[in-house]
Amino acid sequence: MPSRKEQQRGDDDDPLRARVRAIADKRGARSVAVAYHDYETKTGWSYRGDEWFHAASTIKVPVLLGVFRAIEDGRLSLLARVHVRNRFISAAGDRSAFRVAASRDANAEVQKNIGRTMRVQELAHHMIVTSSNLATNLLIEIVGVDAIVDTLSRLKLDSGVTFRRGVEDDAAHEAGINNLCTADGMLAVLRVIEERKAFSEASSEQMLEILHAQEFRSGIPARLPDGVRVANKTGEISTVAHDAGIVYVPDRKPYALVVLTEWDAEKTSGRSDTIARISRAVFDHLTGSAG
């Protein structure tokens, strides 16, 4: 940890860093990490970009990469049907089973289809757009944890994203088996999608289309001006709140932004607004809109 004096010196050199720190401190965040890559100015920046956090639901974006890798390899298709079954084997290694409680899932649509089938494209949509935990675990089961890990490895994303299991796997969590990410790592995931290099143009467009349909907009998009579009994925559990997105500003190239935050468990209000304020600070910094 840098000393207070070193931090102050860093803040003096970097106004954005100072602003991010000020927002985080005022809101009482325990820890904040931010990273962006701007395609307009071809610059990148991060604040505590290599600090590891529990990834929460932002891990669903790397899972999306795994799904589309399986599709591009011909092992899966968007139209393939998947049995919606709410029973999963824990990654804890004890072969115990777990379910995603309906009360712990923001989306009722997938739960409603238990016993039936849904198409891969529907599950991918719900995994991102409504952050369905059940859809996520079904896709992980079909694609395979190892295949997703391999996808991240082949894309050289594993230095900043650690994928190990499905969501709501309490036994694995108790055993210390978690999905983790850094701000720099999640930023690299977004860049893979936006830059359309690792996947076909069609797959990249489809992933972006899903991210654009996001229904949770209280983080990165919330304080941005009208006309700015954001393709994003949020993540929140008891002690973390994150957002990762690509921001499309009219008349300039987009920028990718990741904001990871950690909180005391009892501090439940103001998390999304903290992310929104940091997002606005980055927007002002990049577009010269700072007042």
Partner 1 sequence: MHQLGDLEVVDGLKLPARERQVLRPGELVRGRDGFTRRLPRWFYRVPSWEVALEVSLAPHFKLWEFLDVDVREHELLRVHGPRYVPLAVTLLAAALEAFRREVNTYVHISANGGYRSPAHGLSGHASVHCWGVAANLYRVGDDLLDDVKNISRYSDLAREVFPAFQVLPFGSGVGETDDHLHLDVGYAVVTPHGMGDEEADKNAGPLPGGGAEARRGRKGGA
In the bound state with partner 1, the residue whose beta carbon lies nearer, of 87 and 154, is 87
Minimum CB–partner distance for residue 68 and partner 1 (Å):
15
The DSSP secondary structure of 219-247, one letter per residue, reads STTTTSPTT-EEEEEEEE-SSEEEEEEEE
In the bound state with partner 1, the residue whose beta carbon lies nearer, of 124 and 193, is 124
Minimum CB–partner distance for residue 115 and partner 1 (Å):
4
Minimum CB–partner distance for residue 198 and partner 1 (Å):
23
Residue type for 258, please? V
Minimum CB–partner distance for residue 99 and partner 1 (Å):
8
User: How far are the Cα atoms of 126, 153, 290 from residue 166, in angstroms, in the given order?
Assistant: 15, 18, 41
In the bound state with partner 1, the residue whose beta carbon lies nearer, of 18 and 114, is 114
The DSSP secondary structure of 39-84, one letter per residue, reads TTTTEEEEESTT--EE-GGGGHHHHHHHHHHHHHTTS--TT-EEE-
Which residues contact partner 1 (rule: CB under 8 A)?
A: 76, 80-87, 96-97, 99, 114-117, 120, 142
In the bound state with partner 1, the residue whose beta carbon lies nearer, of 90 and 178, is 90
User: How far are the Cα atoms of 9, 49, 266 from residue 167, in angstroms, in the given order?
Assistant: 40, 24, 22
In the bound state with partner 1, the residue whose beta carbon lies nearer, of 67 and 210, is 67
User: How far are the Cα atoms of 82, 97, 149 from residue 170, in angstroms, in the given order?
Assistant: 24, 10, 20
Minimum CB–partner distance for residue 86 and partner 1 (Å):
7
